Chain A
Amino acid sequence: DGGITQSPKYLFRKEGQNVTLSCEQNLNHDAMYWYRQDPGQGLRLIYYSQIVNDFQKGDIAEGYSVSREKKESFPLTVTSAQKNPTAFYLCASSSPGTGYEQYFGPGTRLTVT
C-alpha cells in the first residue's frame, strides 16, 4: 500500500534536547511538506521541499531544520532553539500527477517538558 508514514506517533522530550521526527513516503511524490498544528488551530507551514537536496523555509521555520537526501524521506529536527515545540506535527507529500493534492501522514504528537 502506498502512503506516508510518520514515527513515532507520540514523542516526549525534555527541554534543551533536539529531537528528529521521521517522515517517509512511497508514493513517488516529488514534493514534501512539514506542518505544525497547535490545539484548536489550523496548519502552519514549517519547511517544504520540491526535489532532493533542496528545501525552502515556510512561515515558521525558526528553531527547526530539515534534510532531503532521498526522495522518500524528509526528516524534521526540532532544535532546542524552538521556544514552544509542543505541538502536533504533520508531514505531507504531493505530485502534479494527483492534481497537486496533498497526502498526509498520521502525525507525531511532540510533548516537551
Chain B
Amino acid sequence: AQKVTQAQTEISVVEKEDVTLDCVYETRDTTYYLFWYKQPPSGELVFLIRRNSFDEQNEISGRYSWNFQKSTSSFNFTITASQVVDSAVYFCALSPLEAGNMLTFGGGTRLMVKP
C-alpha cells in the first residue's frame, strides 16, 4: 500500500518569506514517481513537478525548488520569496511504475501568503 503524508495542514507566511512544504511517503515499490500539484482557489489541479525515484538530484525552477531524500522518504517543496499568488493548496503525490499509474495524494497543505 502507498501513503503520502503532508503533516502541515496550513501555513501562513508574509510575502517575500521563504516557505517549505513537507512531504513524506511510504511505498514498497523500489521505483516510483513523486509529484507536486498546486490547487489555486479556482479549484483546478496544476502540475508542478515529477521526480523519478532513481534520480535524487534536487531541482530548481525559478522560485521553486524540490529536495528529494530517498533515505528519509521525503520530497519537500520550497518556495523562495513567496508571493500572494502562491496562495493555494499544494498536494504531494506518489505513483507506481506499473499499469494504471494512479496517483496517491497527500492531504494537502494550504499555503496563505499575506501581503
The answer to whether A and B interact is no
Which A residues are within 8 Å of any B CB, using their own CB?
none
Which B residues are within 8 Å of any A CB, using their own CB?
none
